[in-house]
A = this chain, B = another copy of it.
């Protein structure tokens, strides 16, 4: 039995079905909404008009799942979990009818819910989250309704991945865009010195960013629609507001059932994605916490790629096979217009928080050989442990070819490599693709020197 029909849940279903036929394993999946296996990460591009939606964002439809022998029940909400008796309480959202359904093995894939601050006006018309395809459609309906409005203004609250992507989408729709965020710089998943590069690029695109902004309320007009966002310091007029304040694990059921949760409110699992202390329950996707292999701590990292991997592992294990998810190193990539943003491993404050001593270096390099047409500047920051020289983190801001370079550092982090080992890596070199020293290696060389200079 699977609770949740998106990436983790339905990947688990598919993988289990690959290993065991319908006569060996019955699979039932409950999904509250109308869609399955969709790419929430694609919503900003749909809203921005780069991608037709919502159909194109659906990797596998309910019908396809059913054809593969999954008893999928849409518009069916699980409202209770009784782990002692191995059953869940479900409610048909159409008819309102409720019932108990028993399971032998349970997969919790309830995902995450967007953070919606309990502020006045947050539920006003024109204030949108962008977590589900329905959210995306509702936002697009609002934008369509505003089509005749002159000088349309949008305010995005939050400057994480979803915030900057939505800012770009709204800019593409012709809006004057203001991004309000709490931190000193946008993209607080980067160190502030790298976040500054993102802010400068956003400035250059004509997106207004306001740091240190604490939203206090959403002001509405006589028609009940949002008309401005107020912070402690100012008011920002808005015809539409997008909330990009992050998401929290959706673990209400799990909490009520007494399952173990971590400090971010996500379910805690073992390496096989089994919920700790429970032999018959697995969990994956945005509702779990994952082990950060660099810091040794659990973190909440809601990302479709992890959810798919979790599902794959869970599906194998549920069906009597074997798989593990060893953990993450915190890799994330994003873009805002032509700017590419990437990070992996620890930021300075993460490293400090777990007692690591480290050096940091930042270098400027280029995406291609300097003489090759289209060579674009790239800034690479690297953190390395003092004494050992072990790589701790890498952040990259640049243009074309910047983002996926972080994979070099992600694999090196996973392997526990030192920055000196990184300087010797045999990376792909040809003038259209890289300078003779890859930018990541330019940073590693400087980090080697910094480690040496820092001494013991």
- A residues near B (Cβ < 8 Å) are 7, 39, 41-42, 45, 50-52, 56-57, 59, 161, 303-306, 308-309, 312, 324-335, 340, 342, 344, 369, 371-373, 401, 403-408, 410-412, 414-415, 417, 421, 423-434, 436-438, 445
Contacts and interface: CB of A to CB of B under 8 A. Distances in A.
Most B CB atoms within 10 A — which of A340, A369, A410, A426?
A426
A44 to B, nearest CB: 9
A428 B342 contact: yes
A152 B403 CA distance: 42
Given A403-B432, A411-B427, 12 more contacts: A57-B371, A305-B434, A305-B436, A306-B426, A309-B423, A326-B424, A333-B429, A334-B430, A342-B428, A407-B438, A414-B421, A414-B425
A130 to B, nearest CB: 14
B430 A403 contact: yes
9 contacts: A41-B369, A42-B372, A51-B373, A305-B436, A325-B424, A333-B428, A403-B432, A405-B407, A410-B428
Nearest to A429: B305
A161 B429 CA distance: 12
Contacts of A330: 426
A428 B427 CA distance: 17
Contacts of A407: 405, 407-408, 425, 427-428, 438
A405 B408 contact: no
Contacts of A410: 425-428
B7 A39 contact: no
Contacts of A426: 305-306, 327-331, 344, 410, 414
A135 to B, nearest CB: 17
B428 A331 contact: yes
Contacts of A403: 428, 430, 432-433
B411 A45 contact: no
Contacts of A161: 430
Nearest to A46: B371
A430 to B, nearest CB: 5
A42 B424 contact: no
A50 to B, nearest CB: 5
Given A42-B369, A414-B426, A305 B437 contact: yes
Contacts of A45: 371-372, 431-432
The 7 closest A-B pairs by CB, nearest first: A415-B415, A333-B428, A305-B429, A411-B411, A56-B371, A328-B426, A331-B426
Contacts of A308: 436-437
Nearest to A371: B56
A332 B369 contact: no
A50 B373 CA distance: 7
A39 B411 contact: no
A285 to B, nearest CB: 12
A436 B39 contact: yes
Given A50-B372, A333-B433, A415 B411 contact: yes
Contacts of A369: 39, 41-42
